[in-house]
Amino acid sequence: MPATPLVSRRLPISARHLPHLVFLVAVAGTLVRLVRLNSGLCWSVAPPTTALALLYVAGLARWDRLSGVGRPVWLGLLLLLWSWVAWVLPVQLAFGYAWLAVPLAVLAVRMPTRPVRAVALGAIMALLVAVLVRVGGALDPDVLAPPVAAVLATAVLYRTQQRLNRELADTRGELARRQREAGRLAERARIARDLHDTLAQELAGSRMLLQAAERDWDHRPDAARRRVRAVTDALGEQLTETRGIIDDLTPPVLARDGLEAALRDACARTGSAPRAPRITFRAEAGPEPYPLPTERAVALLRVAQGLLANACEHARATHVHVTLTYGGGATTAVEVRDDGVGFDPAAARTTGTRAAGTRRGFGLAAARDRLGAFGGTLTVRSTPGHGTRVRAALPAEDRVHRVPVGAR
């Protein structure tokens, strides 16, 4: 069973620690009153009261390391100490001490299994009633009602909050799954378009040339040979394009050496093309590199490749800077900056048309969609005549906090 955090990270700090604060304040107040009484009985009760507080704090500190058996044993020891101290305390102190049942009920609700939770809550209620009967001398409803109602309300409210958190986490998880599925469908559509616009069209043209060469083979052999050579050259280009599509699907450098090496390789290949601008690549790794899952690394690489293509084909830039930033937190980002003609991002986004002379608006929308499927962002800063700076950022993991198994 995975480790279970004691408190939900969705709650504000004050709400998360309120039950523990109530427990420790009640114990500290009891100790202060024991010291003021300065009787032999009080001094004999003070050590187990202090031990109760220390055991409580130790259990909180070691909660993640306690096993499924360790947590019930720890709670059982707390209940034994609490009930013993409450039973031997002077009557004037016992009623306030009985309210420790409320934070103990919170711990009972956090036990790993339903039977353990039921037994723990039943034991707390029984011990609480016994202490209150001792304080009141009888079954006095005025004495019993407030603490018992507080314990029951705390258990019900805490379980309700856990259920709502679990449903919220499940909803977020389902939303993230559907976003990833939408991204995969969009990627399949993109690949289909690439194949149709490149490979299918070229193969159809090559087939027509070969059919024409077959008709001319006997009567016009020179023309037939020219057509065969044209088909051979076209097939070479098609092979290169097909390999590019395959590399986009499963980039071998990325799988083997990671995102930094894949981006460095993409910059080198793009910069080696005829009339390509000068491309420089820099990686800024933080003190604690945060691993990016493969599907997110592929998405970030493809977005970076699209931004590079924009800068090389449409921006008329002479220099392109690519910067990979990772390790400074749970976010990985790629920034592509060029000194090209620039464009108006607001106009391209609102009109849905290509910016004048740049033809860059459509690719940025696709990049936003790709990053958005993983909770990422695309920030575009550009001014006509002053170049463009685009930053693509992705969180290293889903920002969905699921409720731990032990809290259900």
Spell out the domain ranges in the chain.
13-139, 257-398
Q: What whole-number percentage of the chain has pLDDT above 70?
A: 79
Q: Which one has a higher pLDDT value, 168 or 33? A: 168
The mean pLDDT of the chain is: 76
Candidate ranges 249-258, 273-282, 386-395; pick with highest mean pLDDT: 386-395
Across residues 98-116, what is the average pLDDT? 82
Across residues 232-257, what is the average pLDDT? 73
Question: How high is the pLDDT of residue 67?
Answer: 76
Token readout for 360 is 């860059």
Residue 195 has pLDDT above 60, yes or no: yes
Question: How high is the pLDDT of residue 323?
Answer: 93
Beta-carbon contacts of 55 under 8 Å, excluding residues fewer than 6 positions away, are: 74, 77, 78, 81
Across 39-53, 144-158, 172-186, 350-364, least confident range: 350-364
Token readout for 223 is 């023309």
Residue 265 — very low, low, confident or very high, per pLDDT cuts 50/70/90? confident
Question: How high is the pLDDT of residue 405?
Answer: 34
Per DSSP bridges, beta strands 388-395 and 331-338 are antiparallel
Q: Collapse the DSSP code of 399 into the 3-class scheme (helix H, G, I; strand E, B; otherwise coil) and give the result.
A: coil
Q: Which one has a higher pLDDT value, 18 or 215? A: 215
Q: Which one has a higher pLDDT value, 317 or 291? A: 317
Q: Is 366 within 8 Å of 193 (Cβ atoms)?
A: no
d(CA 31, CA 245): 73
Q: Is 128 within 8 Å of 105 (Cβ atoms)?
A: no
Q: Which one has a higher pLDDT value, 402 or 313? A: 313
Q: Which one has a higher pLDDT value, 93 or 128? A: 128
DSSP letter at 195 equals I
Partners of 306 in the β-ladder: none
Residue 391 — very low, low, confident or very high, per pLDDT cuts 50/70/90? very high
Residue 114 has pLDDT above 80, yes or no: yes
Closest to 389 measured CA to CA, from 326, 343, 331: 343
**CATH placement of domain 257-398:** 3.30.565.10
Question: How high is the pLDDT of residue 213?
Answer: 83
Q: Is 103 within 8 Å of 23 (Cβ atoms)?
A: yes
Question: How high is the pLDDT of residue 115?
Answer: 87
Residue 120 has pLDDT above 70, yes or no: yes
Q: Which one has a higher pLDDT value, 72 or 249? A: 72
Q: Which one has a higher pLDDT value, 150 or 187? A: 150
Sheet containing 319-326, strands listed edge to edge, beginning at the edge strand earlier in sequence: 278-285, 319-326, 331-338, 388-395, 377-382
Token readout for 221 is 């052999």
Neighbours of 402 (CB within 10 A): 14
pLDDT in tens, 40-82: 666 777 788 788 888 888 887 887 777 778 888 888 888 888 8
